[in-house]
Amino acid sequence: MKKSLVAPLLLALAGCPGPNPRGVEVPPTSGAPAALVQGQGTPVAQTKKAPSAEDAQVFLVKAEQDLLAQWIRTERAEWIKSTNITHDTTQAAAAAQEALAATITRLAQEAMRFRDTSVSADLARKFKLLRLSPPLAAPANPAGRAAVARAVVTQQAMYGKGRYCPQGKSQLRIRTKKGAKRCYDLGQLSERLGKSRNYAELEEIWRGWRQVSRPMRAHFERYVELANQGARELGFADAGALWRSRFDMNPADFEQEVDRLWLQVKPLYTQLHCYARAKLAQRYGDKKVSSTGPIPAHLLGNMWAQDWSYISDLLMPKGRRGVDLDGALKRKGVDAVKMVRYAEGFFTSLGMDKLPSSFWKRSMLTKPVGRDVVCHASAWDVDMVDDLRIKMCIKINGEDFSTIHHELGHIYYYHYYKELSPLYRDSANKGFHEGLGDTISLSVTSGYLQKVGLLASKKKVASKDAIAPLMARALEKVAFLPFGILIDKWRWDVFAGKVKSADYNKHWWKLRHHYQGIVPPTPRSAEDFDPGAKYHIAANVPYARYFLAAILQFQFHRALCKTIGHEGPLHECSIYGNKKAGARLMAMMKLGLSQPWPDALEALTGERQMDASAILGYFEPLHQWLKEQNKGRQCGWK
């Protein structure tokens, strides 16, 4: 989570990676920062004499100091709230967010003085970042600022404290301690949703969790209104345009870029969907799962149908089995701390530093008893130097093993750009931050697991057995792609005023149908607010970054595997222990946000474009196999 710069609501960031999404338009080589702060309101402190480049430099140094101090204060308040959600911690976090927003508004207004000052490219970039960063711009007026902070903090608390408490007869087979009140949190519901194969029970779990988000709709409506107001004050068309302006291109071009990448990968997703649908029809019957229509959303093993790994037992081809990492971790008695140690071991094998001792003292690795916390995994950079922490409710399974690598990716990114000037302490674009740890996860191959003793050493898995490992990976990575794109497609439409609040849910399901090919198992109404059942919507975390990360991590992996001279299929490549690969990663991380992202991409991969050919190449053998399996089936959905 982290700080943002312009009037913002950074609440948002709380959560995922942390860093604030600072903007990244390509800076002019020199010139007036005026364009960067247009729409900021009335300039203050106009001086008679035009300010010089030196004045601008002095202003920015001080501005960065002020911001840093506020970010740290806000980050601490957010940490306290997220690891103990109470009335008071929530109020304190909202107050910190408001104070930060006020600082940013003040700085943005003061920056107006330099609108006609000619400055270096470096300063121009910083002025630009100062304006572009907030994930959500709050209005400059104090009442609006406070209201939007409250709306987001409230949604986040509703999500964090959310429980489903069945009324009357229930299908649930979740064991609770005798006498305990029968309410279930997201962790319990998700676990059961992954394991149960009982249609009615799955339906109840799916519906039950969505009761939590129903009352969020009114808060969300207010938040949209105020976020848009804030964005317009900064000179953007709406809050979605502000979010899309952070990728070194204009908002319309960014949307096209995302569409282009999606169209590249859509045929692969469609084949996976077609195959999964046929298997689910075998399991649940063709009355429940139509052979030509969308799939009921509750049958895919995940609360949001974004990762299908938990139904791999239904989808793995006969006679082929993936690696049983869940079993291996449990058999070895690996606990939460050891899981993180394994991940740290991967990063250090690449030549990176060990995690600081404060990380181990201050992180929250397991769900505490007796208090509400935000369990959604996140990585924190509390003092923006080395007070690094993760917050997770780790379960001993393969999914969390992979999430820990994801979170440490954020942590190492924070660590390696800490020397940069505060405004540059972020990744090249947010997809890089989200993709770094996932790139390492792609190197968690069966060969690697054998090397570190988590799997028994057997003979090398022959390449002709590629289908099982590729299927396992596809259920996580390929299944995710349409979900990764639609969350922000929905928010962009909402922010742009294309969807009225009465149609929030209807539009959500239109996109879920269009992109993912899924439908709700039970009728939904305008009173439901199913988008809010996903953390990032409740917590105001932009999501297109995860879609980009899903594409980028395969580009990173392909380039690193080339660097280490790997021969053979990419799914068998692991960069574990390779210092040359580590050096390339560190060099990219050290650039932070100081350069436009194509430069950072080039530093690592030699390429300047985001490109789905890497993910397609990785899955090519599976893609061909799926096409074979789907022969005679009518793929796609009506």
- Is 546 designated active site? yes
Query: Minimum CB separation from Zn ion for residue 403, in Å?
Result: 9
What is the C-alpha end-to-end distance of the chain, expressed in Å? 40
Q: Which of 125, 128, 395, 406 binds ligand X8Z (CB under 6 A)?
A: 406
Q: Is 16 in the site for Zn ion (CB under 5 A)?
A: yes
Q: What residue has token string 């390929």?
A: 478
Would you say 535 or 625 has its CB closer to ligand X8Z?
535
* Token duo for residue 637: 């959905």
- Is 571 designated active site? no
Beta strands in 272-414, from DSSP E residues, in sequence order: 295-296, 378-381, 388-391
Q: Is 17 in the site for Zn ion (CB under 5 A)?
A: yes
Would you say 59 or 243 has its CB closer to ligand X8Z?
243
Catalytic residue among 410, 433, 513, 557: 410
Binding mask 543-582 for ligand X8Z (x = CB under 6 A): ---x------------------------------------
The number of beta carbons lying within 10 Å of the beta carbon of residue 322 is: 20
In whole angstroms, give the CA distance from residue 308 to residue 272: 11
- Is 410 designated active site? yes
Query: From ligand X8Z, Zn ion, none, which one binds at residue 90 (CB under 5 to 8 Å depending on kind)?
Result: none
Tell me whether strands 388-391 and 184-185 are parallel, antiparallel or unpaired.
unpaired
Query: From Zn ion, ligand X8Z, none, which one binds at residue 403 (CB under 5 to 8 Å depending on kind)?
Result: ligand X8Z
* Token duo for residue 389: 């922490």
DSSP secondary structure string for all residues of 584-623: HHHHHHHHTTSS-HHHHHHHHHS--S--THHHHHHHHHHH
Q: Which of 74, 97, 228, 403 binds ligand X8Z (CB under 6 A)?
A: 403
Within residues 15-44, the interface with ligand X8Z by CB under 6 A covers 16-17
In whole angstroms, give the CA distance from residue 598 to residue 263: 21
Contact 20, 4 (CB under 8 A): yes
Give me the amino acid identity at 492: W
By CB neighbour count within 10 A (0-12 exposed, 13-18 middle, 19+ buried), where does 458 fall? exposed
* Token duo for residue 350: 């690449």
Residue of this chain nearest to ligand X8Z (CB atom)? 16
Where residue 81 falls (left for φ over 0; alpha for ψ -120 to 50; beta otherwise) is alpha
* Token duo for residue 392: 């997770």
- Is 406 designated active site? yes
Query: From Zn ion, ligand X8Z, none, which one binds at residue 377 (CB under 5 to 8 Å depending on kind)?
Result: ligand X8Z
Would you say 139 or 435 has its CB closer to ligand X8Z?
435
Would you say 124 or 440 has its CB closer to ligand X8Z?
440
Would you say 17 or 294 has its CB closer to ligand X8Z?
17
Tell me whether strands 163-164 and 119-120 are parallel, antiparallel or unpaired.
unpaired
Query: From Zn ion, ligand X8Z, none, which one binds at residue 20 (CB under 5 to 8 Å depending on kind)?
Result: none
Query: From ligand X8Z, Zn ion, none, which one binds at residue 378 (CB under 5 to 8 Å depending on kind)?
Result: ligand X8Z
Query: Minimum CB separation from ligand X8Z for residue 543, in Å?
Result: 7
* Token duo for residue 280: 């689910």
- Is 376 designated active site? yes
Would you say 16 or 72 has its CB closer to ligand X8Z?
16
Would you say 159 or 199 has its CB closer to ligand X8Z?
159
**How big is the chain, counted in residues?**
638
Tell me the site size for Zn ion, rule CB under 5 A. 3
Within residues 411-470, the interface with Zn ion by CB under 5 A covers 434
Q: Is 363 in the site for ligand X8Z (CB under 6 A)?
A: no
Catalytic residue among 416, 424, 535, 546: 546
331-368 CB burial, b ≥16 within 10 A, e <16: eeebebeebbebbbebbebbebeebbeebeebbbbebe
Within residues 606-635, the interface with Zn ion by CB under 5 A covers none
| Chain residues that interact with ligand X8Z, rule: CB under 6 A | 16-17, 377-378, 403, 406, 546
- Residues with a catalytic annotation lie at 376-377, 406-407, 410, 434, 536, 546
| Chain residues that interact with Zn ion, rule: CB under 5 A | 16-17, 434
